[in-house]
Amino acid sequence: MQSRGFTLIELLVVCALLALSLTIVLPGLRDFLQAAQARAEADRLLSSLQLARAQAIANNQRTGVCPVTPGSDPFSACGRRYEDGWFVYLDRDGDGVFDPGNDTPLRRFAAMPSGFGLYNRAGSRRIDERLSFWPDGSSRRSMTLQVCPPTGARVQPWSLVLNHVGRPRLTRDWGSCLL
C-alpha cells in the first residue's frame, strides 16, 4: 500500500517559496492599489467640479464646492478639509458662502481614504477654500489641486487643473507632494 501526501521537506519548500513570492509581490501590489485609489479620488473630485459647473450653467446661478464639517450635519456649514468629504451646492444668493437656510445642497461626496489629501500644486499647503463656478461656467481663477497619496507611498500624485474659464482636467506629473 502506497501512501499519498507531502513530506515535511516538500511542505517547507513550498512555504518558503510562497513566503519569498509574497515578499516580492506585496510591495508592488500595495503601490498598485494606492495608485488606483489616487486616480479614483482625482476622478471623484473631477466629477464634483464638472457637476458644479454644469449646474451653474443649467440653473444660471453660481454654484460652489466646499468641504464638509465632520461630525455634524454635512450640509450645516463648510468645513476646512476636503479629506473629510465635500459637497456641491447652488449658491442662490451668489455671495460665495454656503448658507444652509438659503442655498441648495446638490450632492455630497464621501471622505477620502486614510492618508490621502488635497494640496496645492507645490504640495506644501492643504486646499481648504470653497471653489465656485459662475452662471457662464467660468471659475474666474486658475488653480491646480493635487491629490496626494499617503506619506511614504511610491505613487505619483494626480493633479486636477482648473483653468480660468472653468474647464477642469486631470493630469500627472504636474506638481509634487512635499509631505
Question: Which residues sit opposite 119 in a β-bridge?
Answer: 126, 146
Cell numbers standing for residue 67: 468641504
pLDDT of residue 85: 92
Which residue type sits at 103?
D
Closest Cα partner for 51 from 35, 38, 42, 63?
A: 63
pLDDT-derived band at 97 (thresholds 50, 70, 90) equals: confident
How many angstroms separate the Cα of 176 from the Cα of each of 61, 62, 86, 149?
34, 31, 23, 11
Three-class SS of residue 178? coil
Chain-wide mean pLDDT for the chain? 88
More confident residue, 99 or 176: 99
Cell of 110: 464621501
Question: Which of the listed CATH numbers 1.20.120.1770, 3.40.50.10880, 1.10.10.10, 3.55.40.10 matches domain 33-172?
Answer: 3.55.40.10
Q: Which of 13-17, 20-24, 118-122, 124-128 has the lowest mean pLDDT?
A: 20-24
Beta 168-172 vs 104-109: how paired, if at all? unpaired
Query: Position of cell 511542505?
Result: 11
List pLDDT tens digits, range 44-69: 999 999 999 999 999 999 999 999 98
So what's the pLDDT on residue 1?
61
Spell out the domain ranges in the chain. Answer: 33-172
Q: Round to whole Å and give the CA distance between 91 and 75.
A: 13
> Using CA atoms, how far apart are residues 141 and 49, in angstroms rounded to an integer?
14
Q: What pLDDT digit, counting tens, does each position of 117-166 carry?
A: 999 888 888 888 899 999 999 999 899 999 988 877 788 889 999 999 99
| More confident position, 120 or 3 | 120
